[in-house]
Structure 1
Amino acid sequence: MRETLRTRMGWLHAWTGFVGGLVMVCVFVTGSLSVFDTEITRWMQPEVRVAPGTPLTPAALDVAARMIHEGETHGIPAFLALPSPRSPTLKVLHYDGREFTGPQLDPQTGVIIPARQTAGGEFFFRFHYTLCMQGPAGILAVDIPAIGLLVAIGSGLVIHIRALLPDIVLLRLSATRLRAWLDAHLLTGVLFLPFMVMITYTGVLVHVDRLLPAIPVTSLWSQGRPVSRSTAIRPPHVAPSPVFQPLPPLAPLLAAARAPLGGREAGFILFSPDHLSIFASDASGPFLTRDHADFHLPDGALLATAATSGSIARSVQLLHGLHYARFAATGLRWLYLVSGLCATAVIASGLVLFGMKRRRDRGHTVAFRIGEGLTMTTLVGLPASLCALLWASRLLPATLPGRDGTEITVFFTVWGLCALHALTCAVTGRGLRAWRTQLAMSAVLAGGLLPLDGLTAPAALHAAPAIHAAVDGMGLGAASLALYVLSHLRDRAA
């Protein structure tokens, strides 16, 4: 009976791990990088040279307020993102139907910074949870494989729990290739199992109302939140031409909001025709809240404070906060990044093992070769395409209209060409050659980020040396890994 259970769990682990793993590698890679999405955006916009910690002045706030009021009178609603230690600029943002975009202002003078339009690190974040698909379909395309990953983790524990400790202690990396890959898969899986379960479970929880619409998760966010007058002063659904009240000086309102927000820093400001809401920063703590203070316009009188209470709502906010990690300091962000990449290695090694175990019996079939091509597209083509996106952010003309969309087009074009090359070579029996070719291309693109950075934006290296060193260093690390795998494949071919 036990062997029958382990056999069935083995089948479940293999197929849910392979089918879901193809998607989850993409999700984990981009999700790990999106922990530093703001820093990646600064790398992709070398014109932004505002030093961290630059104080925000009332004059800059007044300039932003005038821009927002002028835009609202022309039917362009916007909100104000305040400076933070990670993003020191003042941003006037509006939603263009795909992402939030708008000018960046110097926090001292309010002068618009002529930064190039770019997809930025926001693309990594958006791809992470929707695969850049519109509407609920994108979220479901990520959440369903995530549930499959949890199933694969559970079935993997059932399979290996009996011999888990001996396999980890022996760690036969010098044994046969299959045994070495399996031991590496088990070791990394055990070490990063808590992180994988936590990040996958909380990621599914973020959008669980899409999977189970009967669960009012969105109401849990506001459970225990007192009904404030702000709910009664929203603009009507049918409003031909709402009259937007003039905005008072924002600096005194930010100071007045600190007490209602419990001493937390403000993160952004939303504007309505007759009131504005100052929201607590997401970096204020591990609880990802939407607590805010509402002020009447145009006199700036405090209307009400909306704050979350209740154990259920706070628990949900904590799980959201743990997933997004917006509260994390730099060291903890690096821990999230390394853990995410190691979790990616667990899934990637599982994909490789899936093919290795079936190559002898099914290596000649078209289905197996298509699976090998998809694996190659995911493990090698995706990193190469992400590097191509970074190259495009520097090489495309800075004044090109629709520049951010062109960067995304470059990403998907390169990824599509990698997929076409991988599938063509795999189906025609030249899979090993395709692995070598794409690994070499990935090494060139990743390793070339350092000279690209130095040649295209030498002044930005002095403005934010840590950010540029981190991005360029990650590129060198990825290139080294690609060359290491490439050398082993060449030895195998020889």
Structure 2
Amino acid sequence: MRETLRTRLGWLHGWFGYGAGLVLTCIFATGSVAVFNMEITRWMQPELRLTAPVQPGAPALDAAAHLVAAGQARGVSAFIALPSARSPTLDVLHYNGHEFVGARLDPATGAVIPARITAGGGLFYNFHHTLFLGPQVGTIIVNIAGMILLVAIISGVVIHLHALVPDIILLRLSTARLRAWLDAHLLMGVLFLPFMVMMAYTGVLVKADMIVPVTPRPAARSVQVPAPPPAPMPEMARVQLAPLLAQARASLAGQEPGFILFAPQRVSIFAGDASSAFLTRDHADFSLPEGRPLPVDTTATPIARTMQLMHGLHYARFAPPGLRWLYFLSGLCGTAVMASGLVLFVMKRRRHAGHRWAYRLADGLNVTVIAGLPAAMLAFLAGNRLVPASLTGREDWETGIFFTVWALCASHALFNTLRGQAHHAWRAQLGLVGLLGTSLPVIDLLCCPAAFHALPGLHMAVDGLGSGAAIMALYARHRLGRRGA
């Protein structure tokens, strides 16, 4: 009975894990990088050379309010993002369907900084949450993949529980390739099991309403009333935000204000996401145009507080730099668990089924996800430096570079693997990752030397991660050639 259970769980772990693993590898890879989404955006806007945040002055807040009003007159709904340690500029942002883009202002003077428009780290963040398939369909697919990950983790623990300790202690990385891949998969899976469970569980929970929407109880009477046209908001251009910001800071109980939203009759100042591990939406409201405080109920139920903690743990916006790096490294190791599982799935079944077209297709998908995705991510970063800074719609060009390179990698991988040349596909695309990663610091230094010297830590971190990806890819390519896989 026990062996039958393990056999059935092995089938579940393998087939369900592979199908979801293709998506989960992309989710974990982009999610790991998205931990530094704001830092990547700063790197991709080298014209921004502010090193430390300062409290925005009254002229800067007034200038931002005028930009919001001007956008509202054009039908663009924007908000003000206040300076923070991770983003020291005063921003007027709007949502373009995928990313938040807009003007960056100097918080001391209110002058608009002529920074290039970019998709920034928001591309990785949005891909992690929606796969760029839209907030409805994409989020549902990601949630389903997260639930399958929890099932795969439970089944994997049950399958390997009887020999888990010996497999981890022996760690036979120099023996047969199948055994080495399995031991590495088990080691990383066990070491980072709590992190993967936490991210999968919180990720599913914070978007659970997309899978199981709450149906509101119908009202007793339903009266059809035509919706009023949106009210104009000329008051926002006249309101003095500086005193309101001081009042909001006092009423938010130690939480630092993060962003300012405008409505037809009021302005709301929300607490910043980095205020605590509880990702609240506490806010202070003021009437327009006189700026009179409005009553706000910020009392949260235990369930609401629990959900705020789940949001905070998953998004990690409260995390200091050290904890953020730990999230990043844990996410990369979680990505390695998914990627090694994809390789193991094909290796184990090819031993029994031979080189059937289905496994050749699986090989091509593995190359696309494991090697093609990093190549596209590095091409996206390099494209930010190569696309002209003044080009109209350049954020769409950057996004197009990412998906075009990834599509070309997918076509190349499938073309070679379906012809039985998976070895060539792996070597070529790992070489491409090596080329793009090693060239990234050179392109950065040649195109933006002033920004490199103004923020050396930021540029060395981003360029260093690109070089690190290149070193690992070139080492894997060398090992692949030597072992003749």
What is the SS of the residue equivalent to 2:268? strand
**Contact in 2 for aligned 1:54/1:107 (Cα 8 Å):** yes
Question: How far 1:112 sits from its partner (Å)?
Answer: 0.7
Amino acid of the structure 2 residue aligned with 1:393: N
Matched letter for residue 87 of structure 2: S
What CA deviation, in whole Å up to 9, does each residue of 1:419-468 have, x standing for no partner?
A: 01100100101110111011101100011111111111111112222111
Superposed CA RMSD in Å reads 1.5
Structure 2 partner of 1:109: 109
Residue type at the aligned position of 2:77: P
Moved more, 70-79 or 162-171: 70-79
1:84 maps to 2:75: no
The secondary structure found in structure 2 opposite 1:278 is strand
Distance 2:478 2:97 in 1: 45
Is 1:485 the equivalent of 2:480?
no
TM-score normalised to the size of structure 1? 0.94
Measured after TM superposition, the shift of residue 214 of structure 1 is 3.4
Q: State how far apart, in whole Å, the 1-side matches of 2:9 and 2:262 are.
A: 54
Q: Determine the C-alpha separation between the residues in 1 that align with 2:314 and 2:93.
A: 24
Shift of 1:243: 4.9
Change (3 A) 1:55 1:259: closer
Q: Secondary structure at the match of 1:79?
A: strand
Answer yes or no: is 1:245 the counterpart of 2:235: yes
AA in 1 matched with 2:26:
C
In 1, Cα distance between the equivalents of 2:126 and 2:299? 27
For residues 66-81 of structure 1, what are the structure 2 equivalents within 5 Å? 66-81=66-81
Q: Deviations over 1:260-307 (max 9, x none)?
A: 210211000001122100000000000011110000111111112341
Report the number of matched residues.
475
Q: Contact 1:289/1:308 (CA < 8 Å) preserved in 2? A: no
How far apart are residue 394 of structure 1 and its match? 0.6
Change (3 A) 1:362 1:276: same
Output one character per residue of 1:239-275: Cα deviation in whole Å (capped at 9) or x when no partner: 2653532432111111101222102110000011221
- Between the aligned partners of 1:424 and 1:34, the Cα distance in structure 2 is 31
- CA-CA distance at 1:213 after TM superposition: 1.4
Q: How does 1:171-320 map to 2 (within 5 A)?
A: 171-214=171-214, 237-239=227-229, 241-246=231-236, 247-320=238-311
Matches of residues 28-43 of structure 1 in structure 2 within 5 Å? 28-43=28-43
Equivalent-residue separation in structure 2 for 1:55 and 1:256 (angstroms) = 14
Please give the alpha-carbon distance, in whole angstroms, between the structure 2 residues aligned to 1:85 and 1:343. Answer: 28
d(CA) in 1 for partners of 2:102 and 2:227?
Answer: 26
Aligned to 1:149: 149
Residues 1:461 and 2:452 aligned together: yes
Q: Secondary structure at the match of 2:274?
A: helix
Other-structure match for 2:64: 64
What is the letter of the counterpart of residue 396 of structure 2?
G
Query: 2:54 is paired with a residue of what secondary structure?
Result: coil
In 2, the alpha carbon distance for the partners of 1:416 and 1:458 equals 32
Is residue 324 of structure 1 aligned with residue 315 of structure 2?
yes
Q: Which runs of 4+ in 1 moved over 6 A?
A: none
Paired with 2:168 and 2:85, the residues of 1 have a C-alpha distance of 42
Q: Report deviation, 1:488.
A: 0.7
CA contact (8 A) 1:44 1:390 kept: yes
AA at the equivalent of 2:278: F
Q: Aligned partner of 2:199: which letter? A: I
- Partner secondary structure for residue 161 of structure 1: helix
Quote the Cα distance in structure 1 between the aligned partners of 2:289 and 2:252.
21
Query: How far apart, CA to CA, are the structure 2 residues paired with 1:22 and 1:100?
Result: 28
C-alpha separation in 2, matches of 1:240 and 1:445: 48
Q: Which amino acid aligns with 1:416?
A: A
The DSSP-based 3-state class of the residue aligned with 2:476 is helix
CA contact (8 A) 2:100 2:122 kept: no
**2:53 touches 2:89 (CA, 8 Å); kept in 1?**
no
Q: Deviations over 1:45-79 (max 9, x none)?
A: 11111122334222111111222223334433321
The residue number in structure 1 matching 2:408 is 417
Aligned to 1:391: 382
8 Å contact kept, 1:245–1:297? yes
Aligned-partner SS, 2:458: helix
Match of 2:94 in 1: 94
242-251 or 81-90: which moved more? 242-251
The question of whether the paired residues in 2 share the 8 Å contact of 1:267 and 1:281 is answered with yes
Q: What whole-Å deviation, never above 9, does each CA across 1:152-191 have from its counterpart, x for those lacking one? A: 1010011011111111112112221111111111111000
Identity rate, percent: 58
Deviation at 1:371, TM superposition (A): 0.4
1:332-411 map, 5 Å: 332-411=323-402
**What is the TM-score with the length of structure 2 in the denominator?**
0.95
The 1-side partners of 2:106 and 2:469 are apart by: 34
Cα pair distance change 1:66/1:154, threshold 3 Å? same
SS for the counterpart of 1:245 is helix
**Cα gap change, 1:70 to 1:416, in 2 (>3 Å):** closer
Residues 373-409 of structure 1 show CA distances to partners (whole Å, capped at 9, x for unaligned) of 0001000000000001011111011111111111111
Give structure 1 stretches of 5+ with no counterpart: 217-235
User: How much does 1:349 deviate?
Assistant: 0.8
Q: CA shift at 1:309, angstroms?
A: 1.5
- 1:15 and 1:176 mapped to 2: Cα distance? 23
User: What SS does the corresponding residue of 1:3 show, helix, strand or coil?
Assistant: helix
Q: Say if 1:249 and 1:381 are closer, same or farther in 2 by CA, change over 3 A.
A: same
The C-alpha deviation readout for 1:67-95, integer Å capped at 9, x for no partner, is 22233344333210000010000111122
Distance 1:306 1:277 in 2: 13
User: Using the alignment, how far apart are the partners of 1:342 and 1:86 within structure 2?
Assistant: 25
Q: Measure the CA separation in 1 of the matches of 2:19 and 2:51.
A: 45
Equivalent-residue separation in structure 1 for 2:180 and 2:230 (angstroms): 68
CA contact (8 A) 1:293 1:306 kept: no
Check the 8 A contact 2:231/2:264 in 1, yes or no. Answer: no
Please say if residues 209 and 215 of structure 1, whose CA atoms lie closer than 8 Å, have aligned partners that are also in contact: no
Deviation of residue 487 (structure 1)? 0.7
Residues 215, 23 of structure 1: alpha-carbon distance in 2 compared, 3 angstrom cutoff? farther
Query: Matched residue of 1:238: which SS?
Result: coil
